[in-house]
Structure 1
Amino acid sequence: MRKENVLVAVLVAIIIGGIYTYNAKQTTPVMPPDHPRVDTGPGGFDGVATAHAETLDSAGIQWNEYTTGMARAKQEKKDLFVYFYAPWCSYCNMLKRTTFTDKRIQSYLNENFISISVNTDEKQALSKKYGIRGLPTMWFLEPDSKKISSLPGYVEPDQLLKILEYIHTKSYTTMEFKDFVKNRS
Structure 2
Amino acid sequence: MRIIILIALFVAMSVLPSSAATAQEDKQESGPQGEEQDLRFINWESYREASARSRAANIPLLLYFMTDSDTYCRKMARETYKDPRVVGYLNENFAMATVNTIQLPSLAAKYEVNGLPTLWFLAGDGSRLTHVPGFMSAENLLQLLEFIHTGAYKETDYDQWREHRK
TM-score normalized with structure 1 length: 0.70
Cα distance change of structure 1 residues 46 and 177 upon mapping to structure 2, 3 Å threshold: closer
Q: Between the two proteins, what is the percent identity of the paired residues?
A: 34
Residue ranges of structure 1 left out of the alignment (5+ in a row) = 1-26, 32-44, 51-59
Q: 2:38, 2:78 within 8 Å by CA — same for their partners in 1? A: no
Larger RCO: Structure 1 or Structure 2 (Cα < 8 Å, ≥ 6 residues apart)?
2
CA distance in 2, matches of 1:80, 1:116: 8
C-alpha spacing 1:174/1:182, structure 2 compared with 1 (3 Å): same
How many residues are matched? Answer: 137
Question: How much has 1:29 moved relative to structure 2?
Answer: 3.8
Structure that is richer in helix per residue: 2
Distance 1:169 1:119 in 2: 28
Three-state SS of the structure 2 residue aligned to 1:115 is strand
Choose the corresponding residue for 2:88, options 104, 107, 124: 107
Separation (CA, whole Å) in 1 of partners of 2:37 and 2:142? 25
TM-score normalised by length of structure 2: 0.77
Match of 1:170?
Answer: 151
Corresponding position of 1:159: 140
Matches within 5 A, 1:132-151: 132-151=113-132
Q: What letter corresponds to residue 153 of structure 1 in structure 2?
A: G
| Alpha-carbon distance in 2 for matches of 1:179, 1:133 | 27
2:28 matched to 1:28? Answer: no
Gaps of 5+ in 2: 1-29
Alignment of 1:77-92 (within 5 A): 77-92=58-73
RMSD (CA atoms):
1.9
